[in-house]
Amino acid sequence: MSGERILLIEDEARIAQFIERGLIYEGYRVSVARDGQSGLGVARDNPPDLVILDWMLPGLDGLEVCKRLRAASDVPILMLTAKDDIRDRVSGLDAGADDYLVKPFSVDELMARVRALFRRSTPNSRPEILRFSDLTLDTGTHRAYRGERAIDLTAKEYELLELFMRNPRQVLTRDVIFDRVWGYDFGGESNIIEVYVRYLRQKTEQENETRLIHTVRGVGYVLREEE
């Protein structure tokens, strides 16, 4: 599930950088193109799993790029637009965009759209409800619950929790977690697993809820009930 390639076509450097950082932080691989023509070139030479496409681009505009991308493949396309005129939305969707986001948007909003598009484009994975203790994870909607309490997860938090829920009471080493959730090497000295385990604990251990994700010193982590 991890390491999907996203092609970002956006001419404004500041916005491109903001989006690129957010995507990389969530574990996606990102290519950035600054205009439509070079974006189409990247898409042709190295087909991405998803395209984020700005509407207002120099030269070929986003709408035209969208039509050409769509003529060549079924890749999910998320359009970014400063226009919120309903006619523009309709023409974007007519041109083959799967979704669009009106600027300005938050990084969380963008990630939610990206995740939703990936979910829609991989219908082959049949949804399951995973349960451990009073923790529930719906692999269809990516929603988690502790008892009745809904837990809002980012894409990486979800993947990490899913890995634990699929391997309850088994000690997962840092290497295994890296490999399964991030799919590539962070360079050895990264504390990213610790950071994400901390996020998951914050979200799964509110008020008097017991700890479920335990540290195994020097090895990794295990999902188990309190001893």
Binding site for Ca ion (CB under 5 A): 11, 54, 56
Q: Closest approach of Cβ 19 to Ca ion, in Å?
A: 12
Beta strand pairing call for 50-54 and 77-81:
parallel
Beta strand pairing call for 77-81 and 99-102:
parallel
What element of type H or E holds 199? Answer: helix 192-204
Nearer to Ca ion, 10 or 157 (CB): 10
Q: Closest approach of Cβ 85 to Ca ion, in Å?
A: 16
Q: What angle do CA 59, 61, 65 make, to 5 degrees?
A: 110
Nearer to Ca ion, 84 or 225 (CB): 84
Cis check for the bond before 104: say yes or no (omega within 30 of 0): yes
Q: Closest approach of Cβ 11 to Ca ion, in Å?
A: 5
Nearer to Ca ion, 56 or 192 (CB): 56
Query: Do 226 and 211 touch, CB atoms closer than 8 A?
Result: yes
Nearer to Ca ion, 48 or 62 (CB): 62
Q: Cα–Cα distance between 202 and 225 in angstroms, integer?
A: 17
Q: Closest approach of Cβ 55 to Ca ion, in Å?
A: 7
Q: Which residue is nearest to Ca ion (CB)?
A: 56
